[in-house]
């Protein structure tokens, strides 16, 4: 009787463990994505001689709460959002966006003096860029959308030099999240070019 009870206990303990292991083995692995900055010397890059005195501060960059999550957010309709449970950002999206924007401006303005908020007190910037993103998502196989309001300020933040509301779209050439992420990176490049152009027009 004792041996029988021990056997029953062993079966009761082992069965849930086997079910758990089977569930883990059958779960779909997650894929992780990063937005990428422009590479090399893109067309339209400013001559280094025009940017010698520039120092750009980037941020704060504000994102809507619906994007404050690791899953990639897609749209299945104008007012319908879908979370891609197995397609996720490798880091918080607002940080990735801000870093890519800063790296793009560094390339487009031919300067290494681009700093992400909050920058050290010892750094004296000539211009500040703040961005409020209201939409940054898309539909795989259709298009990606970026809506943002951005402001260019003097280095000390006391004067508004430019205020713009920008809306961009990019085609997504495949029904996969990788294609959507690539299109979103191109949207940041377009925004970066618009900001860089404004900086140069005020700096000349």
- At 153, list the tokens: 């300020």
Question: Is 168 in a helix, a strand, or coil?
Answer: strand
Q: Could you tell me where the DSSP H helices lie in the chain?
A: 2-26, 93-108, 177-203
Q: Mind listing the pLDDT tens digit for each residue in 143-193? A: 999 999 999 999 999 999 999 999 999 999 999 999 999 999 999 999 999
Q: Which helix (H) or strand (E) holds 32?
A: strand 31-33
**Which of 116-146 are b and which e, b meaning 16 or more Cβ less than 10 Å from the residue's Cβ?**
beebeeeeebbbbbbbebebbbbbbebebbb
Question: Is 79 in a helix, a strand, or coil?
Answer: coil
Confidence at residue 13, expressed as pLDDT on a 0 to 100 scale: 47
In the chain, the domains with their CATH numbers are 32-203 (3.40.50.10610)
Maximum Cα interatomic distance, the chain, rounded to a whole number of Å: 94
What percentage of the chain carries pLDDT values higher than 70? 81
What is the residue-averaged pLDDT of the chain? 88
Q: Which helix (H) or strand (E) holds 130?
A: strand 127-139
Confidence of residue 128 (pLDDT cuts 50, 70, 90): very high
Q: Which residues contact 4 (CB under 8 A, 6 or more apart)?
A: none
Strands 71-77 and 80-89, by their bridges, are antiparallel
- At 184, list the tokens: 């979103």
- Spatial distance between the Cα atoms of 179 and 87, rounded to a whole number of angstroms: 12
CA dihedral 181, 186, 189, 195 (to 10 degrees): -100
Question: Is 50 in a helix, a strand, or coil?
Answer: helix
Confidence of residue 44 (pLDDT cuts 50, 70, 90): low
- At 105, list the tokens: 């401006």
| CA end-to-end span of the chain | 94
Burial class of residue 110, CB neighbours in 10 A (0-12, 13-18, 19+): middle
């Amino acid at each position: 009787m004792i041996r029988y009870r021990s056997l029953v206990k062993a079966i009761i303990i082992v069965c849930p463990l086997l079910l758990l292991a089977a569930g883990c083995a059958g779960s779909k692995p997650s894929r992780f994505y990063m937005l990428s900055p422009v590479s090399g010397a893109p067309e339209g890059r400013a001559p280094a001689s025009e940017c010698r005195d520039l120092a750009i501060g980037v941020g704060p960059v504000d994102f809507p709460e619906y994007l404050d999550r690791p899953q990639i957010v897609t749209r299945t309709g104008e007012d319908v959002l879908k979370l891609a449970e197995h397609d996720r950002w490798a880091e918080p999206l607002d940080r990735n966006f801000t870093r890519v924007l800063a790296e793009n401006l560094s390339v487009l303005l031919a300067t290494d003096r681009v700093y992400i908020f909050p920058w050290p007190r010892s750094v004296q910037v000539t211009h500040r860029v703040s961005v409020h993103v209201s939409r940054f998502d898309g539909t795989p196989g259709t298009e990606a959308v970026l809506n943002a309001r951005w402001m260019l300020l003097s280095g000390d933040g006391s004067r508004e030099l430019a205020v713009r509301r920008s809306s961009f779209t990019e085609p997504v050439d495949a029904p996969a999240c990788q294609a959507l992420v690539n299109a979103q990176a191109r949207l940041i490049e377009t925004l970066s070019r618009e900001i860089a152009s404004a900086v140069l027009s005020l700096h000349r």
